Amino acid sequence: MDVILRHQHPSGGYPACPTFEVYGYSWFRDGAFIAEGADRAGATDSARAFHDWCARVLTARAERIERIVDTLRSGGTPAAGDWLPARYTLEGADEGDTGWWNFQLDGYGTWLHLLVTHLRRHSADPAPFREAARLACEYLAASWNTPCFDWWEEDSEQRHGNTLAASEAGLRAAVDAGLVEGDTAERARDAAEEIAATVRREGVRDGHLNKWLGGPDAVDSSLLSALTPFELADGELAERTLAAVERDLLHEGGVYRYRADTFYGGGRWPVLAALLGWHYARTGRRADAERQLRWIESQFTAEGLLPEQAPEGLRLAPEREQEWLDRWGPNATPLLWSHGMYLILADELGVLDGTVAGSVAGSGS
């Protein structure tokens, strides 16, 4: 927990990784999960500061969002530079022209979903977030069917299962919680229903959720988010999606992103191990969830830091690792998203106040 608190900016934004030059920004997606972990670990003020930061980022761009929505409703297509970015500087500004892909939709749905979770947990007043939630819902309701980059900043010409799951969950949460009302609530509800129907119609292959809609059969472990926490898939669809991830991407406790991954050689991610463990815990597979927690704990450095990828172990494309080391140096450590997800899983298992909490405090994680 100390790592998260130590590196949170006074504005409330969380850097993805404070020591990795290109990760010095705050993502809505990463940050929302980090805030959820912090909130579960008792750092309520930290979580609230992040949610406040998100609300300020959105309301500061109200006119821009309204223009995007108006363009989409009239049948037009916003220019590439008009879309909201996925990440911002820690002060809440656009990052500028860095030449790095930046159009993703999932973060806004993820934030809405976990904002509602935060507000309900603390019986907090939703009033300070209503305008930001309205803007986020209008944006997602108008744009959800637009191809964009996925969690991994890849495949910008596709509509991704995990992106749609986050968007549907955020819209649904905002409506169910009464965070948005009137015409906005109606548009959000309709969009959520249409997203769910579209995913089931176009986003299923061989009985499991597919990496992208309308594409060839491919499994991506980010699809676990459609099971837990977003709950887009249940029943047999959820079971077969989980089985596909376990079959193709689970290896000795760690979880790969997808089989064709070459980033840093294609290693296993603590974030994804925690996501899998979270679902196991929610579905009564406690021993399997604990196994994921132990694997994550084995990835802590001597300084109590979690990386983006496990530095050791079998890689899917080991011949591609060196090119990333040459480009950006060792893989991002600490990745605050890894720390946040670890706290979520530990709390889901009810061990934050036990031995795990002690090891967290002792390691500085």
Catalytic residues: 150, 153, 308
Distance of CA 288 to the CA centre of its chain: 22
The Cα 37–Cα 338 span in angstroms is 10
Residue 277: other Cβ atoms inside 10 A: 32
Residues 226, 230, 231: CA angle, nearest 5 degrees: 75
CA atoms in the 13 A half-sphere facing the CB of 363:
21
Backbone angles phi, psi at 87, to 5 degrees: -140, 160
Please report, for residues 17, 62, 76, the alpha-carbon distance to residue 294 in angstroms, rounded to integers and kept in the order given: 23, 44, 50
Polymer length in residues for the chain: 365
Distance of CA 258 to the CA centre of its chain: 16
Please report, for residues 91, 108, 158, 357, the alpha-carbon distance to residue 343 in angstroms, rounded to integers and kept in the order given: 25, 22, 32, 9
First-to-last CA distance in the chain? 5
Question: Are 220 and 316 spatial neighbours (Cβ–Cβ below 8 Å)?
Answer: no
The Cα 153–Cα 27 span in angstroms is 12
